[in-house]
Amino acid sequence: MRYDYGDREFQVLCDIANQQVVDLDPVSPANQLPFLRNFPPFKGQFERFRKNNRTISDILQKHIDTHLEKHDPENANDYIDVYLNEVKASEARGEDYFNLDQLRIVIFSLFGAGSETTSTTLRWALLFLVKHPDVYKKVQAEIDDVIGRGRLPSMSDKAKMTYTEATIFEIQRLGNIVPLSIPHVCTEAFELNGYNIPAETRVLGNLTAIMMDPAYFPDPERFNPVGAYA
């Protein structure tokens, strides 16, 4: 499943992904008081969010159906093909963890968490590297030394590129594109720092408090790949 940049369907998906980030808004009162979703302006926002979810789901299902029609277990070309192989293997074992509904949900999550977030992180990367040419030069030198100019990178290169990895982490720390993460729900009751948190409680993680904590990151407002991860 691959798109050209000019593909109309790809552009629709990107537009929806950008809108979903706005509508998700973890600090929205409607996320804390769900009954507000029945009233303006939250009602329109929530309905748009659900409509966009259905649109994405329908597009993904179309691609899954196409893969099912042409599926060749001996020639897996992408993630969907590999997953379909696992579905058949799971069925042979009498299990149902790998199934078509789960496949659609996983692809939905990969797209939702890996499109707008990635492009926004890359924009932060460009900003930080323009502002810090010394870091840019070191990253480029490490890339040239480990990967060179004649091939694509691979996972095996990661262990040899510690400075580049530290730079990526620092971009994500200071860029911090989801400062409150996304809403989660407790699966069971627990106690934290003397507070009793009931099961099914909606919680938000304050990532900014962690990323900017001088106890873990000396001089936290400074972009410093080496110092932050020494």
Segments making up each domain of the chain, as ranges: 8-114, 138-228
Tell me the whole-structure pTM to 2 decimals: 0.76
* Confidence (pLDDT) at 190: 93
* Confidence (pLDDT) at 139: 96
Write out residues in the chain with pLDDT < 50, as ranges. none
Sequence-ordered alpha helix ranges (H) in the chain: 8-24, 29-32, 42-70, 79-92, 100-114, 116-131, 133-146, 162-175, 207-211, 225-228
Rounded CA separation 73/85 (Å): 6
Rounded CA separation 13/132 (Å): 33
* Confidence (pLDDT) at 27: 62
